[in-house]
Structure 1
C-alpha cells in the first residue's frame, strides 16, 4: 500500500472518529466518574480490534449478509447502550476515585468499552463501507487483502486511541475540580448513550 492511500484513509477516518457519538459519550462519562480514561479507551480500541479481525477473516461480510445476525447484533448493542446510559443517569458519580476502587473501576471501564465498540453495528459497517474503498485487489495488490485490512484497522484503532484519550483527559482536566458541572456533563453523556441506543433499536426494529 502506498503512502498516499494510507494518508487518505487516515484523514477520512480521523474525520469520522472526531464526530461525537456513543464512544465519545462513554469516554467522557468514564473519565469523570473515576480514574479510568485509559482503561475505557483501551476497551473501545479492543472492540475495534475485534472488528479488524472479523474483517480480515472475511466474517464481517458474512455478518452484513445475514439480516438475522445483524439484527441480533444491533439489538444487543443498542440495549446495552440504553442500560449503560440509564445507569449513568441514575448514578452520575463524582470525579476522583483511588485505591482498589480505582483498579476495579478501570477493569470495569475496559470491559464496558470493549462491549460498546465490539457490539456497535455502525463500527462493523464502517469496516464494510469505508475501509474496502482503500484496499488494492487483483493482480496489482502489493500485499494480500487481509494484511491490508489489518494495516487499515490498526490505523483506525490508533485514531480512536488518540482522539478518545484527548477527549477524556480534556474533560477531566476542565471539569475535575467542578463536581456540579462534571455531574451535569456525565448526565448528558448518559442521556446521549441512552438516546443513541434507543435510536438504533427503533431503526433496526422498524425494518423487521
Structure 2
C-alpha cells in the first residue's frame, strides 16, 4: 500500500470523523444516558464494518446500481432517524448520568448496540462514502490486492472513528454529568439533530418523486 496515499486517507478519515453529525449526536446521547457508552460506540463501528465488508465483496457497487434501491434505503434510514430522534427528545427531561444506572440490564446494552449499528449501517450515505472515497486511495500497482487494500482502509476508518466517538462520549460525560441542566439541553439538541437529518433525507427523496408526479 502506498504510504502517502494511506497517510492522506488517515487525514481525510479523521476530518470526517471529527465533523459533528448523527454519529456525534448518538455518541453524546449515549455518554449522557447510558451507564456504559461502549455498546453504542461498538454499534456505530459495526455499521461501518458492514459497509466495509459490502465494499470488499463488491456488493456495495451492486446495490448502488439497482434502480431505486438507494432511494428506498434512504427513506427507511430517514424513518429510523425520526424514530430515534423523537425517542431522544422525549427523554431529554431526565437526561443525567448516574453511576448506578443500567446495572444488570444487559438487554439495554444489546439494544444500545443494535441502535448504534442501525444508525450507521442503514445510512445509505455511509455506503456511498465508502464507494466514492476509499477507491481514491487504493493503488492498483501496490503489492496487496485491491480488495485487501480497500478492507484495510475501511477498517482504518472504523478504528479512527471508534477513538474519536469514544472521546466525544467520554467528553460529554465528564463535562455534563454534574450539570443536569446542560445535559438536558445537549440531549434535546442531539434529538433535534437526528430529527432534522431524518427530515432532510425524506425531503431529498420526496422532491424528485413530486417532480415525476407533477
The TM-score, its normalising length taken from structure 1, stands at 0.94
Equivalent-residue separation in structure 2 for 1:135 and 1:207 (angstroms): 34
Q: How many residues align?
A: 205
- Out of 84, 106, 127, the residue aligned to residue 124 of structure 1 is 127
Question: Runs of 4 or more off by more than 3 Å in structure 1?
Answer: none
Shift of 1:115: 0.3
Whether the 8 Å CA contact 1:74–1:200 is kept in 2: the answer is: yes
Question: How far apart are the structure 1 equivalents of 2:116 and 2:198?
Answer: 15
- 1:163 aligned onto 2:164: yes
The corresponding residue for 1:144 is 145
Q: Take 1:72 and 1:127, find their aligned partners in 2: how far apart are those partners?
A: 19
Distance 2:143 2:168 in 1: 36
The yes-or-no answer on 1:105 pairing with 2:108 is yes
* 2:102–2:108 CA contact under 8 A, matched in 1: no
Pairwise CA distance, 1:108: 1.5
Retained in 1: the 8 A contact 2:2–2:139?
no
Is 1:67 matched up with 2:70?
no
State the distance in 2 between where 1:187 and 1:164 align. Answer: 19
SS of 1:149's equivalent in the other structure is helix
Structure 2 residue ranges without an equivalent (≥5): 210-214
Measure, in 2, the Cα distance between the counterparts of 1:205 and 1:147: 38
**Shift of the alpha carbon at 1:98?**
3.6
Q: Distance in 2 between matches of 1:134 and 1:21?
A: 24
Distance 1:189 1:203 in 2: 21
- CA deviations over 1:158-184 (Å, ceiling 9, x no partner): 111011000000000000111121011
Distance (Å, rounded) in 1 between the aligned partners of 2:41 and 2:85: 17
1:95 is matched with which residue: 88, 94, 97? 97
Residue 66 (structure 1) shift: 1.9
Return 5+ residue gaps in structure 1 as ranges: none
CA distance in 1 between counterparts of 2:102 and 2:132 reads: 42
> CA offsets, 1:85-121, max 9 Å, x none?
00111112322214123x3332221110000100111
Partner SS state of residue 66, structure 1: coil
Could you tell me the TM-score, scaled by structure 2's length?
A: 0.92
2:173 is aligned to 172
Query: How many angstroms does 1:207 deviate by?
Result: 2.4
2:138 match: 135
Kept in 1: contact 2:84–2:191 (CA 8 A)? yes
